[in-house]
Structure 1
Amino acid sequence: MHRLTLARIYICICFAAMLLPAAAYSQSKAPQTNAGTALHLLPVKNMRNDLTLLWQAIQHMHPAYGLYYPADSLQLLYRQTLAAMDTPATESAFMSHIYPLLSKLACGHTQLKHSAGYTRVPSPHLPFEVLAQHHRAWVTTHQVNTIATGDEIHSINGIDVKHIIAHGYNLYAGDGYNETFKELFLSEYDGFEDACNDLHLQPPYRLVLTTKDGVHKQVTVSMPAGNATMPATAAQSNAVSNWITDTTIADGRLQFLKHQPVAWFRAGAYQYSDTLLFKEVFQHVHDAHTRTLILDLRHNTGGDIRVAAKLLSYLADAPYHMISRMESRIPNPAINGFEQYFDTDRTAGFNEGFYAGKQAGNWYQVNFKPAFGDVAATLPLSTVDHFDGRLLVLIDGATFSAGAHTAAAIRAQCRNARFIGRETAGNEEGCSGGTIQHFTLPNTGIVVEFPWMRVVSVAQHPVPGRGVMPDDTVEYTAADIVQQNDLDIQRALLLVEKYMP
């Protein structure tokens, strides 16, 4: 588990550089400071003015506006959110207040960041962590002996767990109607704890639960004094000993199964250096006469999609497309009427890499400049070390942005691919992304991650608002989490045994 706060979670989940040229990030303008600590109260007028301004920008140009939820429903929720701002509030409370509205945009790239200079006041820590799944919660790691791994929690301080989870779903935006990302956020990045704190649940915590042995009971727990970290989980078990790590590949990301022509490559969030890494990986895969490649896209949260396109060059069946097209809701996103609130360096980056195209229905085409490279064009296969064997792709609720585009492109253009795990966080049909701008609210200094374009995938028959679905769905128990059992790789090895002569 990762002890992160809601204010910092975007660092781990939302990689903003899916398409924007790197130069645009070199001198990003600092947002307006909002002096004070987490206890500083924002005036009602400032909050209302900032929300009104943000909503005007969203209505005008946000690529997800009205895409998954009707515009009239969003407008009603906006009016309700605005009307409910009737008392001064802390910066965190203001952000929590407007997050349900932003969540209804159903865009995982639209997130909030605290103002510059914001000083966070520590909040209570739960003495346990949970696995959130299907709107239920089970204890994983814990620091008190009155609860155990596998206990299902039904309520905390009289609040039903389903309500806590539903509240947590609204504390962070995700793509479409997907829930696997929300579950992962609650389980791995302390989203459940954030939800409890946002609901003002204070220790001691009165839990109603059912033990793993089926006993219904009530217990009261608190964080032990002087102990602010969870105990370490067990070393990863199961088939790890059956793998040989290629020590020439950085971070042990390439392994080979003993006595079998099987390789396992972990393709994490894309780095610019990965283009050279891919060359080395596929050379080693080829030299080992690999017949089955397990491509691990779990927790691949994206990065530069041009790097993702390079990965596809080793996997696609024929010359391929990484994406279908990019489009925006206005003729030129850089000319939008809100220029003073957007980061000027990021705007310059957009102008360096893209230019406005023709109108097509309700959308406007966004074209690539030659210096950037056209990832919507037909791209060639790698002429050396192309992999033609069976491909098993591992995906989960943190396969997002360019990572999800990779999964969608593989599904559409690799006939020997089979997917294992859980629905991706990113929609199979594409996402709002491209240039991820910073929209600074002038009265509070809060920064909004604001995508300018819609990046349409190459998926042939996507279900609107849903991610890439696995062919083999794998679900974990609380004990699996604590013991670090990799059930996805176990399922992959079962398929290897099935298909190997």
Structure 2
Amino acid sequence: MKFGHLVFLAGLWIGLAHTSTAQTITPKEAREDFNYLKRKLDLLHPGVGYYTPKPRMEQLYDSLYNSLTAPMDYLTFFRHVSPLVAAIKDGHTNLNHRKNYIGKSTRFIPFYIRQVGTSDDYFITHNVSSDTSLRRGTELLTINGRTVASLHQELMENDRSGSDGDNLTGRRQWSMVQFADYYAAWFGSADSVSISYRLPADTIIRYTRVRCPSLDGFRSRFRRRYSHEIDTRPNLSVRMVDTLTQTAVLRISSFMGLKKTDPFQWSFNRRLKQAFEQIRGQNVQNLIVDMQGNGGGLVLNSAQLLRYWMPGSFTIMQREQMKKAARAELVTRWNPFSALNFSLRYKPDGSGGFASRSSRHRYKPHKQQFKGNLYFLVNGASFSATTSVMAKTLDANMGTYIGEASGSAYWGDFAGHFKMVTLPNSRIQVRIPLKKLVHDVDADRANGFTVEPDFMVKRTYEDLLLNRDYILDYTLRLIRQGVVARRPMELRPLQASR
């Protein structure tokens, strides 16, 4: 598997990282911040009480609030806030450090690491430290005296970004892909760390200390050492991978717009059309849709993709709702048209909140509709609008899903519009989703809480050493054997035939 693109993704997450800037939070300031956050969550978040019952949320809040009795440094307070945000169990609700809390002096652990199989063993895949003996396949045992497994578990528990409910795959995937960023966010920046490790094909446990690079240093050395592994495939690219079985891969890395100034998403739609023209022109019979690591984006773009294989007209959402207070976040004084726009787009929902007028919009199948077999490459970082695509496809009884469970729930999620709340004293930021989006799917057709794989695939040590796209390799073997879980237009069965 190509890992190079992850170093560029890191910039999206490193806003969490810690610098040495000191700040002491008094008990009064801490309680003010905590109360402010609680009030904003109750007013705006449509999912408070959905995964964790409200009495439990209230109990947790009281416990955390009442323990704010002594001054604490900024990072300690950040950790104190985390359990309240994490208890919502919503992958779109993010706890972020204050603005400018990252600087050029911030340092990061100089490795990408991955697990193998179902074990708690972690191995270095990419090394940007000055110690070049730490080659791919080196088992990383401890960092500063703690096992990597225990560190990973702590990071997973305290940041639920990209994973809904009690689903583990999203948390496991993101905290592993961005391990260095998560580590700096939670434990702070460090000039160096002590590690213990075992080299490939060796039983001796060795110890050393490695320096931690800045972000610029990390990226620069990564490019020098692993330039041949940087994934340069553009979004919505198509490539033939097996002419014998007429198999192609459509890579969809995001459902965000291709241009910042394109409200109707014409560029995305145009690129998508070109992709399926290529698929049609090459007479592709087996289409692998690679959405590994696709964190989502615009529902409109996910709907445009579905038009190329859904058997009839369809809707994405059954309903979109928001709380009453969310209106004030969408109607602003500086925009005189915002009130009119809100009235055109939303209506009272009968329970004190608002519902979208257009959530039941129907999309028609595209004239260049794909009629062959669909295979989806999925991992825990396949989130939000990506899960929407797979949920609708599964609901239509189509597709074969390979890899691991997606990050979002089959039923829907909390997303759509967002409010970034800044706590008044610590300046910690919390992103709060404003909408509850319910997929227009039949609950009886779910194959789990998320969209679950028909064929679960785990990385082997050999996969790691060869830097192999093991999920794609497994899928190609299924295609060559003629294995499908659901054939196009077929109504039953839901379970994979093996």
Map of 2:496 onto structure 1: none
Which of 276, 296, 299 in structure 2 is aligned with 1:282? 276
Alignment partner of 1:470 is 2:453: yes
Q: Please tell me the residue identity of whatever aligns with 1:420.
A: I
| 8 A Cα contact 2:330 2:338, kept in partner | no
Which of 252, 265, 280 in structure 2 is aligned with 1:267? 252
Alignment deviations for residues 205-228 of structure 1 (CA, whole Å, 9 cap, x no partner): 444445554725241221289964
Q: Please tell me the residue identity of whatever aligns with 2:363.
A: L
Alignment partner of 1:334 is 2:319: no
Alignment partner of 1:65 is 2:52: no
Map of 2:113 onto structure 1: 130
Map of 1:424 onto structure 2: 406
Alignment partner of 1:220 is 2:213: no
Alignment deviations for residues 297-342 of structure 1 (CA, whole Å, 9 cap, x no partner): 22222221012111111111222221221123x346315xxx6999
| 8 A Cα contact 1:96 1:171, kept in partner | no
> Shift in Å at residue 157 of structure 1?
2.7
Q: Aligned with 1:324: secondary structure?
A: strand
Which of 149, 152, 155 in structure 2 is aligned with 1:165? 152
Which of 355, 361, 367 in structure 1 is aligned with 2:346? 355
| 8 A Cα contact 2:395 2:446, kept in partner | no
Residues 91-102 of structure 1 correspond to what in structure 2 (within 5 A)? Answer: 91-102=74-85
Residues 174-185 of structure 1 correspond to what in structure 2 (within 5 A)? Answer: 174-185=163-174
Instruction: Measure the CA separation in 2 of the matches of 1:459 and 1:151.
Output: 45
Aligned pair in 2 of structure 1 residues 375, 291: CA closer, same or farther (>3 Å)? farther
Instruction: Measure the CA separation in 2 of the matches of 1:434 and 1:376.
Output: 15
| 8 A Cα contact 2:169 2:407, kept in partner | yes
Q: Aligned with 2:350: secondary structure?
A: strand
Map of 2:487 onto structure 1: none
Instruction: Measure the CA separation in 1 of the matches of 2:23 and 2:296.
Output: 35
| 8 A Cα contact 2:110 2:180, kept in partner | no
Residues 43-442 of structure 1 correspond to what in structure 2 (within 5 A)? Answer: 43-118=26-101, 120=103, 122-132=105-115, 136-142=121-127, 143=129, 144-145=131-132, 147-169=134-156, 170-173=158-161, 174-189=163-178, 191-192=179-180, 194-195=182-183, 198-199=186-187, 205-209=193-197, 212-213=200-201, 215=203, 217-223=205-211, 228=218, 229-230=221-222, 232-233=225-226, 235=228, 253-260=237-244, 261-270=246-255, 271=257, 272=265, 273-328=267-322, 330-331=323-324, 333-334=326-327, 348=338, 351=342, 354-359=345-350, 366-368=355-357, 374-382=358-366, 384-413=367-396, 415-442=397-424
| 8 A Cα contact 2:320 2:359, kept in partner | no
TM-score (norm 2): 0.78
Q: Please tell me the residue identity of whatever aligns with 2:365.
A: L
Aligned pair in 2 of structure 1 residues 160, 197: CA closer, same or farther (>3 Å)? farther
Residues 482-497 of structure 1 correspond to what in structure 2 (within 5 A)? Answer: 483-497=466-480
Instruction: Measure the CA separation in 1 of the matches of 2:389 and 2:476.
Output: 22
| 8 A Cα contact 1:112 1:447, kept in partner | yes
Q: Please tell me the residue identity of whatever aligns with 2:434.
A: W
> Shift in Å at residue 408 of structure 1?
1.0
| 8 A Cα contact 1:99 1:172, kept in partner | no
> Shift in Å at residue 262 of structure 1?
2.1
Q: Aligned with 1:45: secondary structure?
A: helix
Aligned pair in 2 of structure 1 residues 433, 284: CA closer, same or farther (>3 Å)? same
| 8 A Cα contact 1:341 1:441, kept in partner | no
Map of 1:15 onto structure 2: none
Aligned pair in 2 of structure 1 residues 69, 214: CA closer, same or farther (>3 Å)? farther
> Shift in Å at residue 204 of structure 1?
5.6
Instruction: Measure the CA separation in 2 of the matches of 1:341 and 1:81.
Output: 33
> Shift in Å at residue 375 of structure 1?
4.4
Which of 451, 454, 459 in structure 1 is aligned with 2:433? 451
| 8 A Cα contact 2:140 2:196, kept in partner | yes
Map of 1:21 onto structure 2: none
Instruction: Measure the CA separation in 1 of the matches of 2:141 and 2:58.
Output: 34
Q: Aligned with 2:225: secondary structure?
A: coil
Instruction: Measure the CA separation in 2 of the matches of 1:367 and 1:165.
Output: 40
Aligned pair in 2 of structure 1 residues 416, 355: CA closer, same or farther (>3 Å)? closer
| 8 A Cα contact 1:342 1:440, kept in partner | no
Indicate the larger mover: 81-90 or 312-321: 81-90
Instruction: Measure the CA separation in 1 of the matches of 2:281 and 2:385.
Output: 28
> Shift in Å at residue 405 of structure 1?
0.9
Aligned pair in 2 of structure 1 residues 235, 3: CA closer, same or farther (>3 Å)? closer
Q: Aligned with 2:451: secondary structure?
A: coil
Indicate the larger mover: 387-396 or 210-219: 210-219
| 8 A Cα contact 1:124 1:203, kept in partner | yes
Aligned pair in 2 of structure 1 residues 234, 5: CA closer, same or farther (>3 Å)? closer
Q: Aligned with 1:221: secondary structure?
A: strand
Gaps of 5+ in 1: 13-35, 369-373
> Shift in Å at residue 432 of structure 1?
0.5
Cα RMSD, aligned residues only: 3.9
> Shift in Å at residue 455 of structure 1?
0.6
Aligned pair in 2 of structure 1 residues 5, 92: CA closer, same or farther (>3 Å)? farther
Q: Percent identity?
A: 19
> Shift in Å at residue 202 of structure 1?
5.4
> Shift in Å at residue 103 of structure 1?
1.4
Instruction: Measure the CA separation in 2 of the matches of 1:304 and 1:8.
Output: 18
> Shift in Å at residue 258 of structure 1?
5.0
